[in-house]
A and B are shown apart, each in its own frame.
Chain A
Amino acid sequence: METDINLSKIGRNSLVLLRILIGWHFLYEGVLKLYNPAWTSKAYLSSAELLRPLFQWLSSDAMIHLVDNLNIFSLMVVGLSLLLGLFERIGSVFGICLLLIYYIAHPALPGASQVGTEGSYWIINKNLIEATALFVLYHIPTGSYFGLNLLRKILLAPQTK
């Protein structure tokens, strides 16, 4: 998982910083929900306007429990992988998927109602920006420079006695 892009030290450190901040955000969201059983994404999903039948189904009584648990699980996978620097590419993919689902449920399109957002957006909102940042992290992983992946590589490397 080594990148062939030649990065300066400062460039690499910046990416590590970005990775940690995004991981921080995801993990906090996931843990908060994990310890708050009353939390549910029902209202967010059921008020979706685009792909309404899909979101209505996801937010139905039969599905919502599973959907909420999957959401919490995915948030934590992303958070842990980015913060620890292990399997961060898998984490990035999970994160991009989650963010795109959030975006599609409430896209920042002119005419669509904005739910639970502060600030003003036109087409591009924070979900899309964070998804794009994860796209960058997917392509330039830094876990083997700063993270558990570094230890993993050392441990798995053939030992020469």
Chain B
Amino acid sequence: MSENKKNNWSRRDLLKGIAGVPIVGSVWWAGASKGINNTQARDSILKTLNINASPPPPSGPMAGDPIRIGIIGFGIRGPQLCRALGFGQKSWLTSMTEAAKKNPKDTRLSSFLEQEHLNVHITAVCDLFDVRAQDAIDSFSTDEVKVQRFGTHQELVESNIVDAVVIATPDHWHAPIAIAALQAGKHVYVEKPMTHNIKETYALKDAVEASNVVFQVGHQHRQTQSFLTAQDVVNKNILGHVSLIQANTNRNDDNGAWQYPIHEKANPNTVDWKQFIGNAPMVPFNSEHFFRWRKWWAYGSGLSGDLMSHDYDRVNCILKMGIPSSVVASGGIYTHRDGRNVPDVMQVNMEFPDFSTGSSQVAGKEKGMTMVYSATLGNQYGRTTAFMGHDATMEVGNSLTIYADSKSTKFKEKLISEEMDSNIPIYQYDPASGSVDGVTSATAKYFADKGLLWTYRDGKRVDSTHLHLREWLSCIRNGGIPSCNIKEGFEEAISSHMGGLSYKLGRRIDWDKTKQEIVRVEGYNLDEVLLENKEKIT
């Protein structure tokens, strides 16, 4: 470059110098208008939807004297409930400490340690297997409070060292123990399904209504944030008329098919076999029946009671649609032909012909809904729970996603103006975007995805069972009715039983709403059908 050029600006230099400026201007204009557009579209969608989570079930302070709790049933679920109450088994604490050392991402121990103190004492345990009862005593006894073992639930509920009981026995024992506890004036937290047959469902309802203690059924997902948000979505009629709901179980491993380990120390000397059998038909000691009771109708409730009960209540807590007017079920034992008599593939169609979530079309055009529960224990493809409405589809698990329907009436204009796109969610709630911390097995992931393991409060991960127990304890201390009380439990139990009956009889089962009873089927005693330890009744 010459001296001369440095001193004099040529027009060419000027152009070459500032040529970038108009490009900056154009790019800026393009980016700004697109950014503003996106923001306006999003704001307008959110304003249209106006979704807010319903407040969680109220839960007050845990002050006052410690509540004294007796644990009845300390197998798989019992220890989980105790952890949710703040009591970790010694063996669990050891293995979690190791797991956290090996993998810093494993937050199971730290979440447990950070859990709120619920001001309870575990004072009593009743379990029929000596090893398990002893485990509870060894793990939870302190200098202050020694855990006392009771040989029968009756002695435990009548003792004056407990105020409340947590029942986590096999299904055939839920109602008898719950009724005994209520009659003894003890507060009850009972696992799902609430009952094992029809008759005891009514008996338990009467017992709860006659008592003045607090009763909660173990459907912990009622505490899950996504379900609370879903309630608001439905209340605001964002989905339009929901005509179909699909809910599923997909599991494909031994654990998921209830093939639980058999403890080597279990034998007629260490297990109170006679008591385990209870009202079920007596058979000689059988450790497989004891540990894998879910495989037989005599003790368990099959897919409809064990897993559909969760899905039914997940939907019922959002829609409050109650008991279906009719149920048709089918399926078979197709994936685990190992001597079980409950199905491992099952479809249950529940009809709600008079129910509607609301409508965006001419009055009277839409009414009625079907809920399809579809399950297999031979495949774990992750089918989602979907609420399918005329205006939108909502997928709910631990997260919640809503897609506008391309033929929606309500969102027609927004879809035409391309403000909404039916392939892109118009709303998404995902508490843990991208992270699946602490999920260690396929079955655990199955439960987590359904919102059954944990939820989020103020951005912190909390065990939903902890919150569910906390709600129960709060009602004991501060008054109030828990979110999964006898009405909800009754609806869950009857719906599950209708599924089981329809499967076993191979026919439609109807609900008489006025009489509040399952319509009789000529020639059959429905309770006997349900309890009979056979796959199908003909």
> A: which residues have CB within 8 A of B?
20, 23-24, 27-38, 42-43, 46-47, 52-53, 61, 79-80, 83-85, 145-151, 153-154, 157, 159-160
Contact = CB atoms under 8 A, between A and B. Distances in A.
Contacts of A33: 35
Contacts, number: 98
Contact of B433 (A28, A34, A35, A42): A42
Given A84-B21, A84-B24, A151-B13, A47 B435 contact: yes
13 contacts: A23-B20, A24-B27, A31-B27, A31-B31, A38-B39, A53-B104, A80-B24, A83-B20, A83-B24, A146-B16, A150-B16, A151-B14, A154-B6
A28 B20 CA distance: 14
Given A31-B28, A151-B14, A85 B20 contact: yes
B36 interface: yes
Interface in B21-42: 21, 23-24, 27-28, 30-32, 34-36, 38-39, 42
B513 interface: no
Contact of A32 (B6, B18, B24, B35): B35
B19 interface: yes
A46 B435 contact: yes
A72 B21 CA distance: 20
B283 to A, nearest CB: 50
Contacts of B105: 52
B16 A145 contact: yes
A151 B18 contact: yes
B27 A28 contact: yes
Interface in B431-456: 433-435
Interface of B: 3, 6-7, 9, 13-14, 16-21, 23-24, 27-28, 30-32, 34-36, 38-39, 42, 104-105, 433-435, 459
Q: What 6 A-B pairs are tightest by C-beta distance, nearest first?
A: A35-B35, A31-B31, A47-B434, A151-B17, A36-B35, A157-B6
A82 B298 CA distance: 76
Given A42-B433, A52-B105, A148 B35 contact: no
Contacts of A154: 6, 9, 13, 17
Given A43-B434, A145-B16, A146-B16, A35 B21 contact: no
A134 B24 CA distance: 19
A147 to B, nearest CB: 6
Contact of A160 (B7, B16, B30): B7
B33 to A, nearest CB: 8
A52 B437 CA distance: 12
Nearest to B46: A38
Contacts of B6: 153-154, 157
Given A36-B39, A80-B24, 17 more contacts: A20-B23, A24-B27, A28-B30, A31-B35, A32-B35, A34-B31, A36-B36, A42-B433, A53-B104, A83-B23, A85-B20, A145-B16, A146-B19, A151-B17, A151-B18, A154-B9, A157-B6
Nearest to A156: B6
Contacts of A36: 35-36, 38-39
Of the candidates B16, B17, B24, B435, the one having the most CB atoms from chain A within 10 angstroms of its own CB is: B17
Contacts of B23: 20, 23-24, 83
A65 B223 CA distance: 30
A79 B24 CA distance: 8
A35 B16 contact: no
Contacts of B18: 148, 151
A43 to B, nearest CB: 5
A150 B13 contact: yes
Contacts of B13: 150-151, 154
Of the candidates A29, A34, A150, the one having the most CB atoms from chain B within 10 angstroms of its own CB is: A150
A11 B105 CA distance: 51
Given A24-B27, A47-B433, A157 B35 contact: no
B31 A35 contact: yes
Nearest to B32: A35
Contacts of B24: 27, 79-80, 83-84
Contact of B42 (A29, A38, A85): A38
A43 B433 contact: yes
A150 to B, nearest CB: 4
Nearest to A113: B434
Contacts of A53: 104
B27 A35 contact: no
A83 B9 CA distance: 21
Contacts of B433: 42-43, 46-47
Given A37-B39, A61-B459, A147 B20 contact: yes
Contacts of A42: 433
B239 to A, nearest CB: 23
Contacts of B34: 32, 35
Given A20-B20, A145-B16, A146-B16, A83 B27 contact: yes
Contacts of A146: 16-17, 19
A84 B3 CA distance: 25
B131 to A, nearest CB: 39
Contacts of A147: 16-17, 19-20
A154 B435 CA distance: 55
A47 B9 CA distance: 53
A99 to B, nearest CB: 19
